[in-house]
Amino acid sequence: MYKSWMMKIYKKISTTILAILVIVLGTQVPRVSACPVAIGDFVWLDLDRDGIQDIGEPGISGVTVELYKCDGTLLASTVTDVNGLYYFGPSTVPQLHFTNIGDSIVVKVEFVKPIGYYLSPPNVGLNDAVDSDADPCTGMTPCITLTALSWSLTEDLTWDAGLYLPLGEGQSPGYWKRQVKGYVENRGVFHEDIIGLTEEIDDWWELHGDDLPYDCDNYLVPVSALNVRNEDFTIEDAHAIFTNNMYKNLWKPLANWYNWAAGLLPYTDS
């Protein structure tokens, strides 16, 4: 009887102590996976090839997009939906779950160009929400730090890529030499393919200045490689470079600069 009574008291005390421990210690258990992050979001058809999302330019579906850690470790792969949107979130990428506010991961996004498409010039303008972020040669964004800012979902939906289809085959350096020579000598109008090209190139230089972002297969070259400054580069300068053997190594890049401005493919023959 005594032993049974003591056992009941012992069980009651043990249960009470256990309940107190659960209450006390439970408040110290960290919230697991309560700080998710996500990244996206858009691949579009850049009809005017200017690297900016304009009204009426549609999304492109079926484009492969891959998420990597900045060290090159592949985390996930997806394709854009019918509207050109893509999304990497905690439901499909476990590494985007965090324990605490302030936790982060450094990632990068790769856009795989469909056959026949080219990537638009990156980082044009001042609005990151409507520009293209992929390197035109690699298809890769810079490294991006995703930080959990609250217990709820933190999204960064500003990582986009513009794609465009060239209007046709690129012209050779010899073609552009003749067109530039004719323009300089006659001050007439170029071949119908490049009517207004001078103005378009001037506008493009004004936007990009001395910092062309890439040299992809000699498609575009930095202005510094042409030994000219943005505000000084004229059609006469192009003529001088085209006709001076000292600049022979720049004929092909310069021709492809014209090809790009005309919406054509780069000239690939040696």
134 residue type, one letter? A
State the burial class of residue 13 (Cβ atoms within 10 Å of its Cβ: 0-12, 13-18, 19+): exposed
Residue 225 shares a structural domain with residue 253: yes
Domain extent, residue 210, equals 173-261
- In the numeric block, the tokens 């992050």 are attached to 37
Residue 153 shares a structural domain with residue 247: no
Q: How many domains does the chain have?
A: 2
**Is residue 21 scored above 80 in pLDDT?**
no
Residue 98 shares a structural domain with residue 154: yes
What does the pLDDT look like over 94-138, one tens digit per residue? Answer: 999 999 999 999 999 999 999 989 888 888 888 989 999 998 888
End-to-end CA distance of the chain: 104
- Among the candidates 113, 132, 164, a domain finishes at 164
Residue 104 shares a structural domain with residue 217: no
**Is residue 168 scored above 60 in pLDDT?**
yes
What does the pLDDT look like over 85-104, one tens digit per residue? Answer: 999 999 999 999 999 999 99
Establish if 270 belongs to a structural domain: no
What does the pLDDT look like over 170-214, one tens digit per residue? Answer: 888 888 888 888 777 776 555 444 444 455 555 555 554 444 444
pTM above 0.95, yes or no: no
Residue 123 shares a structural domain with residue 180: no
Establish if 97 belongs to a structural domain: yes
Question: Of the ranges 57-61, 65-69, 86-90, 241-245, which one carries the lowest mean pLDDT score?
Answer: 241-245
